[in-house]
Amino acid sequence: MRATDNRYAGERERFELAIRMIEHEARTGTIRLCTGFTEDRIRNIYASYFPGREAVRRRRGKTPSQIAPLVGSARRQGEASLLAGLFVQTGVVRLDPDTRALPAVAEPCVTLGIGLCDAFEAYLILHPEPQLTFEWTWNLYRCLVSRRELRLVWCALCEGSYVQDAYALDYERCPFCELKDHA
């Protein structure tokens, strides 16, 4: 393949990812991080391909708690756990079998963006009423691999894996066993 063909293929891949992320209502900042496109370029894609739809910019003001909506209820926690498993499957995280840590596979890039879209789309198919948006999926990824506010742990009762607040004490029970216990 000639260098120009390579460049064209790379550009096309970034463009297709941007379209996919816009369809999932990702914010401009997230699209920029994964595609490397400028905000102007992203706004132009909105204008050309999604007329009438505004680019979603990062909201100003205090950032809301990053983890409460991900683990605040058994339902959300179950959905976050499903997504974490899909992250392993699509290769955006690599699970260390010894430490159970989730080191990032790559800095934000096209490969990461594609893997996150694959995981999010599988989640939408697997869950009848998904509560988590693409941006929360992005937050979940960041909290697991860079901020380390969440971690993947194993349930003491059923041994299933689930996402847990890294700093909270719980009874080492996954959301499903926790729900059953209170049923």
- Residue range at the interface with Zn ion (CB under 5 A); choices 37-45, 61-69, 125-133, 159-167: 159-167
Q: What angle do CA 37, 103, 98 make, to 5 degrees?
A: 165
Q: Is residue 124 near Zn ion by the rule CB under 5 A?
A: no
Taking residues 8 to 27 in sequence order and writing x for each that binds Zn ion by CB under 5 A, - otherwise, the string is: --------------------
- Residue range at the interface with Zn ion (CB under 5 A); choices 21-29, 55-63, 83-91, 169-177: 169-177
DSSP string, 14-34: HHHHHHHHHHTT--HHHHHHH
- Residue range at the interface with Zn ion (CB under 5 A); choices 45-53, 110-118, 146-154, 171-179: 171-179
Q: Is residue 155 near Zn ion by the rule CB under 5 A?
A: yes
24: which residues sit within 8 A by CB, 6+ positions away?
117, 120, 133, 134
- Residues within the interface to Zn ion (CB under 5 A): 155, 157-158, 160, 174, 177
